[in-house]
Chain A
Amino acid sequence: MAGRYKSKLTWDDVTPKPVWLNRRQLLAGGAGALALGSIAGPAAASLGAQKTGYGADLEPNTLEEITSYNNFYEFGTDKGDPARNAHMLTTEPWSVEIDGMVDNPGSYSMEQILDGVTLEERIYRFRCVERWSMVVPWVGFELADLLEKAGVQEGAKYVAFETALRPDEMPGVRSPIIEWPYVEGLRLDEAMHPLTILATGLYDEPMPNQNGAPIRLVVPWKYGYKSIKSIVRISLVAEEPPTAWNKYAPREYGFYSNVNPNRDHPRWSQKYERRIGGGLFAKQEPTLMFNGYEEEVASLYEGMDLIEFH
């Protein structure tokens, strides 16, 4: 349901687009001016998302930062590969197969998915398992809205997600980096949590392909790889579903993958992170429990050993 988050902010508080486009120019001096042409590009249609004030205290990363530094291995393992290659992905038409323990299974077109939905802006912290982080002004709606539309049946305990697998459009999947297609999963209560959204855009514009167009999951208190991109299937199931990175290295990537500075990745510490955009001399900052969303989500895990169930 939209509008759950109240805010005292008005449209006067919104940063005008030319200003945020210019932020990088101010930061990087001359180099920013050169880059500006590529950021501005042809302006896409505004989504007109409702402002929620959620995360209004956070300073979002620039559009260039959010769209040029991505992990989307379907398009290659280099951080710049998604920006270079994701234009090959056909995002229209797009539909999501909703199946499993639901009352209304079937193929849902984007129009059907967005029917009756109010798009909201949610400014969330985003913490990658690799120790970098960003702040992203997502546009989306609560996953709970779609699940209600599909009608979750009794007995469903988990939600499984699947990314598109198109070797013709995704050069990365020709190599067995991990097992394709990319799959992810949430416990039903995590999926129904109001912070969990399906995002269809950012900066009030349609989702760039490299960020998971046309529809992706965003779960801000978990490491980034849980927020699966370019979703083609959502299944309601009774058992914990397999997840892509967990299958590859269960010791390194747990099913829950909650951001947790007290549980190190076996190969690196998770106590600190570095915000993208600080340049060559950016310092690391302490990582927050549940990525700063402890107040909202800690109750989901009451009594659970978060080291064992990492």
Chain B
Amino acid sequence: MTFVQKLNMTLGRVPPWLLYSVAVVPPVWLLWLGMTGGLGVEPIKELEHKLGELALQLFIATLAIRPLREWVGINLMKQRRALGVITFAYVALHLLVWLVLDVGILSEIWADIVKRPYITVGMAAFALMIPLAFTSNNLSLRKLGPKKWRSLHKLTYPAVLLGALHYVMLAKGFQLEPLIYMGVVLALLALRLKLPQKTAVA
């Protein structure tokens, strides 16, 4: 058995509930750190930024699963749904920290959403992810049918693009890190153009 085959056997045994359980740990840990001084002297921004960064990293990981199977042979398709749902949860937490802890003033929240392009873009990314999160179950897949379901879930692409753009737009000065994220996202999206059109449904 090759290494990849062995790896796929092991990965195939990882149940989604295990992923969901592990995913609870980082936000709880960060919240604990924030409450006990472990996130520095400005814990609100730190928590907000950490959650946003984790969400973008998870989004990229989710997006990498198909290219990984097509070109490397590593099969994580069974875990993709869980990873997508966890990404959404992290984005929601990031938004919640911004709403409640960071801004916390209703009139300011609304003004920011309509007036600040980087926040508008971030909110749009979140909005695009809502139907994806709610249809990430077998019942929705059956009800919609694989074709409709697949076209709906193509919203992933604009959502991740807007997510990366949101990060690029908030940088002060010329900073490399957000551009690297954007580069990775664009590369993963470009790979889609080369993928065979017949796709498995997850």
Chain A: residues with CB nearer than 8 A to chain B?
Answer: 28-32, 35, 64-65, 68-69, 73, 77, 79-80, 130, 132, 175-178, 248, 264, 267-269, 271-272, 274, 276-277, 279-284
Contacts and interface: CB of A to CB of B under 8 A. Distances in A.
B52 interface: no
A69 B37 contact: no
B36 A30 contact: yes
A277 B41 contact: yes
Given A272-B105, A283-B104, A31 B44 contact: no
A54 B175 CA distance: 38
B83 interface: no
B174 A176 contact: yes
- Number of contact residues on B: which range applies? 20 to 34
A88 B115 CA distance: 41
18 contacts: A29-B36, A30-B36, A65-B41, A68-B41, A69-B42, A77-B175, A130-B172, A175-B174, A176-B174, A177-B173, A177-B174, A248-B173, A267-B116, A268-B112, A269-B115, A269-B116, A280-B35, A283-B104
A268 B173 contact: no
B43 A280 contact: yes
Nearest to B44: A280
Nearest to A172: B173
B202 to A, nearest CB: 37
A269 B37 contact: no
Interface string B105-122: 100100110011110000
B174 A64 contact: no
Contacts of A31: 36-38
B69 to A, nearest CB: 36
B7 interface: no
User: Sorted from nearest, which 3 A-B pairs have the closest CB atoms?
Assistant: A31-B37, A177-B173, A65-B41
Given A132-B42, A284-B105, A269 B112 contact: yes
A248 B31 CA distance: 36
A171 to B, nearest CB: 13
Contacts of B42: 69, 79, 132, 274, 276
A43 B80 CA distance: 55
A130 B43 CA distance: 15
A284 B104 contact: yes
Contact of A280 (B47, B105, B115, B174): B47
Given A272-B108, A284-B103, A284-B104, A80 B173 contact: no
Contacts of A32: 37
Interface in B155-176: 169-170, 172-176
A79 B37 contact: no
